[in-house]
A and B are shown apart, each in its own frame.
Chain A
Amino acid sequence: MTPERWQAIRDVLEKALELAPGERSAFLNQACSSDSSLRQEVETLLASSDDVRSRFLQSSMLRVTLTPGTRLGDYEVKSLLGSGGMGEVYRARDSRLGRDVAIKVLPSFVSADSERLRRFEQEARAAAALNHPNILAVHQMGTYEGAPYLVSELLEGETLREPIRRGRLSVRKAIDYGVQIARGLAAAHEKGIVHRDLKPENLFVTKDGRVKILDFGLAKLTQPQSSSEHAASTVSVGTEEGVVMGTVGYMAPEQVRGQTTDHRADIFAFGAILYEMLAGKRAFQKPTPPETMTAILNEDPPGISQVAANIPPALQRVVHRCLEKNPEQRFQSAFDLAFALDALSEPSVRPEVFPKTDTRKILKIWVAAAVLVVVVSAVFVFRFRVPGRGQKHELVERQLTANPPESTVGSAAISRDGKYLAYNDFSNKLYLLAIDSGEVRQLPSSAPYFPLDWFPDGNHLLLLSGTSEGSAVWKMSTWDSSVRKLWDDPTGQTGQALSPDGSHIAVLKRSREIWLMGADGEEPHRIIASDQDLSSIAWSPTAQRLAYIRLEGTFAKRQVTIETCDLAGGARTIVLSDPDLWGLDGTAGIAWLPDGRIVYSIFSKEDEADLWAITADPVTGKPSGQATRMVGWTNFEARDPQASIDGRRLIAARQRTESGIYVGDLAFKNRAFAPHRITLDSWYNWASDWTKDSKAILLTSRRNGKLGIFKQDIGTKTPETVITGSESYSRPVLSAQGNLLYTAQSSSSPPTYRLMSTPEHGGARSTLLTGRYDYKCGSLPSSSCVLAELKDKQLIFSHLDPVTGKGEEIASIAGYQALGPCWSLSPDAARIAIVDPGEEKGRDSDSESGRPEGYSIGPSQLEMEAFTVYQLGCGWKDPICLGGI
């Protein structure tokens, strides 16, 4: 039967089912008049309909159902109040105390993990013992036929979701509810109990307006354990299995990241709820969970005043302070929060919620800014929408993963049936994702495993593990996560591909050889030995050929080719030749789809690679037709394509390098140095200079697609624009006199560079010099600036006047290949520290002391010192490269 046929049958069947049995025959006569076999099929299915409808599959595997009259200890079940995914809630009679109670029965599977259940009990009991008016009172817990249940007070009212659904709440009501919730939280936090899943659905508003927090401890039972707990119990990795990421709208950033969470995660969730009460819409809501998670990590919610009028600024500040990305910057206790909110509910008192001293204290000495450069990546899935006649294949794109920059996707593999994605991240966790529903399960894994492919049975993964001892290829069962090593290769392979039927593996060894072996690594034999580099191997859909990429020549004069060969390494064909198949770090994978298309990445420009496809005969390897572009993401690389066996789904990783600016307080004597990120966008940012009052950073950012100069107060979240426009602007440096020096780069090819100057607070822009320069300025009182330029491998330093331009030459040093940020001007502008050009030759570790070599050069009032310190070189995180410090 084909899907189309089934659809036809189903259409008729559905209509027939809606009719009384007596009317069906006449309907079928008419509906199937032209297709007697259709009628027959529908009738066959209808024949057993009564029996099927009443019984077949009707009662689920997961419900533990209590009938009225069932006794659970002292309680007698009276009626079903409601049911949800997490079990049923019943009204029951407490015969001993003569009162009605609510009993929630959880599905029995949650009790499978006794340790977790025990902890849940402990927490629920502890919360129940609080006996707080804003926390649901739990009377008792127990298990019934293996299913845990909770006996609690019976409430009449509704969850907070209902009033929010009806529209936003008045300020007075929102504050009232907020204070109650905060008080409940404060009481729980005081006993060390964290809710972890606070949301309107877990808050109950009784008829008389009292708010009760429900389900303390439940989140712990049902959600992933935090990493610290995990670390503490590495033996029981198995308990992590089956974990899932829930709805994400109220999760704190640290929860999204899977980091250790504490009570401040509840404060974040509280902020999101308060926001929603006031704004009538969620603080973080995007079409898909991954996007929502990304928003939680990187975006501030729209200001409440934009969404709702008349919200007191002090209240807005409370909300936004709860929603700080960094837990350190939120309210540190629910008690303080309740207090701050309570103060707002008194109209006569208008306290300043954040005393100025408070903020100042936090900002006291921010003197280090660093840039963390990371590669962000996400896996996307593409569905080929079946085209109508004469139309092109249309790709429907969906983002599958949303990993934080700290732990990006390592590699990913789509299952043969296109239903699952296996991927790992750089915290060495391995995940299984159901593509259609978005559910994620973590597979216990003891080593960094990179998923390469799925075996056709859908139950096993081909994995690569790489450690300092060498790499190995493994087969892992997704069922019980058991792993079996297929083979070691200390020399390191560079690519593996499993044949479509899963019987063979093609292995690229040492970038020069292609080997074939059985799926368990048996009978390995070499089919190609090349004296040129090979990469990115893929099987043809018929398993008759292999495709790979071959590199000839030097990188600058390279010839890069997609080739195919038969399984003996012969009958080679050239499919395509294009130098842009090779990016800065190699090629980006290929896939050979069942329809004959070979999908590959073309590095179109810096930071970008597009997916292209060209058809090649799976049997002969002969190319045909034109290459066409399939996917292009602005400012991203598309790489590592892999398709489901039917070719209807394709995955690709989207990747780019981003950098955020972190600021840390150097007065951290008694605490760990804890820089926090101040740029929330996910673009390329570079901290260039501080303002002279040390309160703001001048940064270069590509947030508008082109490099521009921005200024950001370190206490705020968003930078203000300083210089942007049709060209690229970078390297802002402030002179002591208040001039902004920067570089303008034209969009022409090749670009021209100009050194510009403008008054710091706005004014005419003037071109000081044309050409590429580096420049730094000292602070008052010296106020000198120094210019560096590169001529014939000589680094030449000159004086620079921010208004009149280049002055007298100071010194020149030979042996430099590039104009880099590897020199620094002392604040008094009396010395230059510079990385010795001999650095490339390598230095002993004893030079790490930073001892200057002690030679000074040239007729100059500036002293020059050459440092040979790698740590003080021009590494990404190096303060000395940031200028101005």
Chain B
Amino acid sequence: MRLEKQGAAQFRNREHFIAVCALLMRQILVEYARSRNAAKRDGGYRLTLDDNLAFKTRSVDMVALDDALNELAKLDPQQSRIVELRFFGGLSIEETSHALNLSPTTVKRHWATARLWLHHQMSKATDV
């Protein structure tokens, strides 16, 4: 067995660390986006973050995502948390399942449907 195993099995500890970071990261990004949105409101465009922060991520409207995540939390808080950990925290399916004490299959299913729902919710919001 090689180092691969180590990577996967390591840092049960860190998962918790990341979990908090995920939460913070969400707050930071959303707050940042909010303030920028407010500043740019008159300019008439909504900010996407990927050109402002050096993350390799497709452009996602943080504010809309945050709103949608809050909505999702009302329907299923766990699903919302899964997205938070996966997207903001960068946890893998496996790690998320550890952190939330769920089976990987459940995480995978919830992750898939949550993304569909969020995407729909956010595109609805943009349309308005």
Contacts and interface: CB of A to CB of B under 8 A. Distances in A.
Contacts of A53: 112, 115
A84 B7 contact: yes
A57 B83 contact: yes
Contact of A45 (B2, B9, B116): B116
Contacts of B12: 201, 247
A57 B75 contact: no
A613 to B, nearest CB: 25
B47 interface: no
Given A49-B116, A81-B3, A162-B9, A145 B16 contact: no
Interface string A60-77: 111111000000000000
Contacts of A819: none
Contacts of B57: 59-61
Contact of B11 (A2, A58, A85, A91): A85
B119 interface: yes
Interface residues of A, number: 69
A439 B116 contact: no
Interface in B50-79: 54-58, 60, 65, 74-78
Contacts of A161: 9
A527 B70 CA distance: 38
Contact of A222 (B14, B75, B76, B88): B14
Contact of B81 (A45, A48, A159, A436): A436
B24 A242 contact: yes
Interface in B69-121: 74-78, 81, 83, 86-92, 95, 99-100, 109, 112-113, 115-120
Contacts of A436: 77-78, 81
Nearest to A13: B113
Interface in A554-580: none
Contacts of B118: 56-57
Interface string B1-33: 111111111111111111111111101010100
Given A7-B76, A61-B55, A13 B116 contact: yes
A244 interface: yes
A699 to B, nearest CB: 38
B87 A61 contact: yes
A53 B109 CA distance: 12
B4 A82 contact: yes
A242 B99 CA distance: 18
Contacts of B109: 14
A289 to B, nearest CB: 9
B20 A244 contact: yes
A59 B7 contact: no
A155 B10 CA distance: 15
A804 B74 CA distance: 75
B19 to A, nearest CB: 5
B3 A63 contact: no
B13 A441 contact: no
B102 to A, nearest CB: 12
A34 interface: no
A161 B7 CA distance: 12
A86 B14 contact: yes
Interface in A246-275: 246-247
Contact of B60 (A57, A63, A91): A57
A838 interface: no
Contacts of A439: 16, 19-20, 23
A63 B13 contact: no
Contacts of A56: 58, 60, 115, 118-119
Given A57-B118, A61-B87, A162-B1, A82 B6 contact: yes
A53 B77 CA distance: 21
Contacts of A17: 112-113
Nearest to B111: A57
A35 interface: no
B48 to A, nearest CB: 13
A6 interface: yes
Contact of B3 (A52, A102, A247, A440): A102
30 contacts: A3-B74, A3-B75, A6-B75, A45-B117, A48-B119, A56-B115, A57-B86, A58-B58, A59-B57, A60-B87, A60-B88, A60-B89, A61-B55, A63-B56, A81-B6, A82-B5, A84-B8, A85-B90, A86-B10, A145-B54, A146-B54, A156-B2, A159-B10, A162-B1, A244-B20, A246-B17, A437-B19, A437-B99, A437-B100, A441-B24
**8 nearest CB pairs, A to B:** A82-B7, A62-B90, A85-B14, A60-B90, A246-B13, A6-B75, A86-B14, A82-B4
Given A58-B58, A85-B95, 12 more contacts: A17-B112, A53-B115, A57-B87, A63-B90, A81-B6, A82-B5, A83-B7, A85-B10, A85-B90, A107-B21, A162-B1, A436-B81
